[in-house]
Structure 1
């Protein structure tokens, strides 16, 4: 996947590995293209809100913990309350199966990225991971 689009903005799927998307799509009985579209819609939703940086700032300010596990050039790797994900699912108007697909992709990608950085995956245990692509 490319890291930037023709307009110079970062590809919203830049932090997501194709093999993880394919594995989750296969395991959950959907087409990888459908899963990529779900991820794009989620990332666009975060960009359309106050913007990714502002959203993360608000979470850091109002959540009872720091949700940012890692900040890379490509994305914020966060742990968020289930209610945060539920708000996104409602805004995206997706069914339970697609919601579970999104959660699975974010969880697998967050864990792989942590391992690649030589960090523990423990922050994601019993939590809901969310990667937000930086613009």
Structure 2
């Protein structure tokens, strides 16, 4: 399978490493497939709002800081206010455990991606990272 075929098959989960999802699922006694479904639901929810690009544009206008830490071909790597994540949790109608799982996957993935790019993970310290798959 080529990289582009694998990317297309994974869709909104392209920027998320399987081992990170599996580790978070294992450490939180969750089913990895259920966690992947939750990640897909979150990405779909962001798409159903004004769309990923428009959502990031709005955040840049209204948040007290530029939320975009990195922009890759696959995703926006952002740091958002806890209230932004809370809004998504409400929209997704998820419990606290699933909310914490989502936060953990996004945090771990954002840090790994920064390290892979040779960048500091400091922007994610004490913050709430959110990765949004680009359309």
Shared fold per TM-score greater than 0.5: yes
1:3-41 alpha-carbon deviations (Å, 9 max, x no partner) = 125xxxx81000000000000000000000000000000
Matched, 1:105 2:105: yes
Q: Tell me the distance in 1 between the aligned counterparts of 2:40 and 2:99.
A: 13
Equivalent residue for 2:117?
Answer: 117
Separation (CA, whole Å) in 2 of partners of 1:84 and 1:42: 12
- Counterpart in 2 of 1:68? 68
Q: Of residues 4, 8, 19 in structure 2, which corresponds to 1:4?
A: 8
- CA shift digits 1:50-78 (9 cap, x unpaired): 00000000000101110000000000000
CA distance in 1, matches of 2:53, 2:11: 16
TM-score, normalised with respect to structure 2: 0.95
Which runs of structure 2 are paired with 1:27-38 in the superposition (5 Å)? Answer: 27-38=27-38
Q: Secondary structure at the match of 2:7?
A: coil
Flag structure 1 segments of 5+ consecutive residues without an equivalent: none
What residue is the counterpart of 1:81 in the other structure?
81
Q: 1:4 & 1:20 partners in 2: Cα distance?
A: 19
Higher helix share: 2
- Runs of 4+ deviating beyond 2 Å: none
Q: Shift in Å at residue 94 of structure 1?
A: 0.0
Unaligned runs of 5+ in 2: none
Number of residue pairs the alignment of both structures matches: 131
Q: Distance in 2 between matches of 1:90 and 1:17?
A: 25
